[in-house]
Amino acid sequence: MTQDRVVIFDTTLRDGEQSPGATMTHDEKLEIAEMLDDMGVDIIEAGFPIASEGDFAAVSEIAQRSKNSRICGLARANFADIDRCWEAVKHAEQNRIHTFIGTSPLHRAIPNLTMDEMADKIHETVTHARNLCDNVQWSPMDATRTEWDYLCRVIEIAIKAGASTINIPDTVGYTAPMESADLIKKLIETVPGADEVIFATHCHNDLGMATANSLAAVAGGARQIECTINGLGERAGNTALEEVVMALKVRNDIMPWTTGIDTKKLMNISRRVATVSGFPVQFNKAIVGKNAFAHESGIHQDGMLKNKETFEIMRPEDVGLAGTSLPLGKHSGRAALRDKLEQLGFEVGDNQLKDIFVRFKELADRKKEVFDDDIVALVRVGDGED
Ligand code: KIV
Ligand code: ZN
């Protein structure tokens, strides 16, 4: 893989499913995994095999069925978790064990380990994972609130023990873009052996900065982005896959990194994940929201009818939509109304358009959106049919 290629690691089925209420059935997970694989996701984190029999079964079956993607499972820093994870992912042609431990002071206090005891645990568990699987990812959970010296120390231990990907989680969405870029850059410059592994970024969206932080981390040298469809995930969610992928595509002039994602499949998988998780996509969500390619105001609609680039920086077709939509509402102007009338098969002269436009505005003041049937009715009222 070249230096300008960013690995897309999707964790919809693991971190995404950890959203309270987003649980998916076994068959739904298989379906989403198949869609992710087909869309060009490099690595699918399919679940947390020790969490339940159901998770184990889903990860095992996804591993057996995967065609192109590497299948990864999550494991805490203990042998039982790691063994269970391996039992599930070993069926995949390309597999990965992802093991983690919370390294910040707050997280170290929970198992009540000293810094030295935790360092030993990291060495033991990563070595154990590496003896089972030749592709191991290690994460210092809450990395962005971990002391700098200790973070460097434990990353070096994990690399020496055989981890080939070091993930830097911003577990509580605490970092900011400048800091995110700087952290990865400094880690790569400082930690011995860092140039031989891939650094990953895993951001949460508590302050709404997950996408920006992920892209900044790539600018700092990370070459794997961890993300989920629709940004599904704990609390305010994870980095949204569709956002980082489209940002890299649309602004490749200033962010010269590519992914292997077939972006035309984004809308379809977004809708499917929304349905199976029961988490609807907000209307104004970037890339996949209902309004992401919709324009209501007169000035915008007029501009769009003349040249789509006036108000769109990407083509709706590139994310799998049929096209732009110009919903009619009280902010719409004559140009959009005429366009709609033509689409509906009405050819009207300027005077007739003027009359219909007056009636349209009266109606639009009463209704949030004016639909095709309303327009047909407005024309007929004018023709004296009603
Ligand atoms: O947010 C987080 O720290 C995680 C880890 C398990 C990687 O999801
Ligand atoms: Zn997470």
Q: Does residue 81 line the site of ligand 1, with CB under 6 A?
A: no
Question: Is 60 exceeded by the pLDDT of residue 92?
Answer: yes
Q: Kindly give the distance from the C-alpha atom of residue 245 to the centroid of ligand 2, in angstroms, as a whole number.
A: 19
Say what percent of the chain tops pLDDT 70: 99
Q: What is the reported pLDDT for 384?
A: 65
Rounded to whole angstroms, how far apart are CA atoms 288 and 4?
26
Q: Which residues does residue 97 pair with via DSSP β-bridges, in sequence order?
A: 73, 136
Supply 313's token pair: 């920086």
Average pLDDT score over residue span 279-291? 97
Say what percent of the chain tops pLDDT 90: 96
Rounded to whole angstroms, how far apart are CA atoms 69 and 12?
14
Task: Kindly state the DSSP code that residue 340 receives in the 8-state scheme.
Answer: H
Question: Which of 202, 224, 238 to mutate to test ligand 1, by most ligand atoms within 8 A of the CB atom?
Answer: 202
- Identify which of 112, 121, 106 has the alpha carbon closest to the alpha carbon of residue 76: 121
Q: Looking at ligand 1, which residue's alpha carbon is closest to its atom 1?
A: 171
**Is the Cβ–Cβ distance between 180 and 203 less than 8 Å?**
yes
Confidence of residue 380 (pLDDT cuts 50, 70, 90): confident
Q: Kindly give the distance from the C-alpha atom of residue 190 to the centroid of ligand 2, in angstroms, as a whole number.
A: 25
How many CB atoms within 10 Å of residue 34? 16
Q: Which ligand is nearest to the CA of 104?
A: 1
Q: What is the reported pLDDT for 381?
A: 82
Q: What is the reported pLDDT for 169?
A: 98
Confidence of residue 83 (pLDDT cuts 50, 70, 90): very high
Question: Is 50 exceeded by the pLDDT of residue 346?
Answer: yes
How many CB atoms within 10 Å of residue 308? 15
What pLDDT, in 10s, does the model give residues 113-152?
A: 999 999 999 999 999 999 999 999 999 999 999 999 999 9
Name residue 199's amino acid: F
Helix (H, G, I), strand (E, B) or coil at 339: helix
Q: Virtual CA dihedral for 261, 262, 266, 272, nearest 10 degrees?
A: -90
Helix (H, G, I), strand (E, B) or coil at 10: strand
Helix (H, G, I), strand (E, B) or coil at 383: coil
Supply 128's token pair: 């154990």
β pairing state of 7-10 and 165-170? unpaired
Rounded to whole angstroms, how far apart are CA atoms 19 and 12?
10
Please identify which residue in the block is written with the tokens 């391996």.
86
Q: Which atom of ligand 1 is nearest to the CA of 100?
A: 6
Question: Is 90 exceeded by the pLDDT of residue 202?
Answer: yes
Q: Which atom of ligand 1 is nearest to the CA of 167?
A: 7
Average pLDDT score over residue span 46-64? 98
Q: Does residue 100 line the site of ligand 1, with CB under 6 A?
A: yes
Supply 315's token pair: 């083509």
Average pLDDT score over residue span 194-217? 98
Supply 179's token pair: 């800091």
- Identify which of 263, 198, 197 has the alpha carbon closest to the alpha carbon of residue 226: 198
Q: Kindly give the distance from the C-alpha atom of residue 227 to the centroid of ligand 1, in angstroms, as a whole number.
A: 11
**Is the Cβ–Cβ distance between 63 and 91 less than 8 Å?**
yes
Rounded to whole angstroms, how far apart are CA atoms 270 and 276?
10
How many CB atoms within 10 Å of residue 273? 27
Average pLDDT score over residue span 27-49? 98
Task: Kindly state the DSSP code that residue 386 receives in the 8-state scheme.
Answer: -
How many CB atoms within 10 Å of residue 234? 19
Q: What is the reported pLDDT for 18?
A: 93
- Identify which of 319, 298, 196, 187 has the alpha carbon closest to the alpha carbon of residue 249: 319
Beta-strand ranges (E) seen in the chain are 7-10, 43-47, 70-76, 95-102, 136-141, 165-170, 198-203, 224-227
Comparing 331 with 1, which gets the higher pLDDT?
331
What pLDDT, in 10s, does the model give residues 181-190?
A: 999 999 999 9
In degrees, rounded to 5, the angle at the alpha carbon of residue 17 between the alpha carbons of residues 57 and 101 is: 85
Q: Does residue 103 line the site of ligand 1, with CB under 6 A?
A: no
**Is the Cβ–Cβ distance between 333 and 352 less than 8 Å?**
no
CA atoms within 13 A on the CB side of 285: 22
Helix 26-39 and helix 53-65, axial crossing angle in degrees, nearest 10: 30
**Is the Cβ–Cβ distance between 300 and 307 less than 8 Å?**
no
Question: Is 70 exceeded by the pLDDT of residue 246?
Answer: yes
354: exposed, middle or buried (C-beta count within 10 Å: 0-12, 13-18, 19+)? exposed
Confidence of residue 282 (pLDDT cuts 50, 70, 90): very high
Q: Does residue 166 line the site of ligand 1, with CB under 6 A?
A: no
**b/e 47-63 (16+ beta carbons within 10 angstroms → b):** bbbbbeeebbebbbbbb
Confidence of residue 3 (pLDDT cuts 50, 70, 90): confident
Q: What is the reported pLDDT for 386?
A: 47
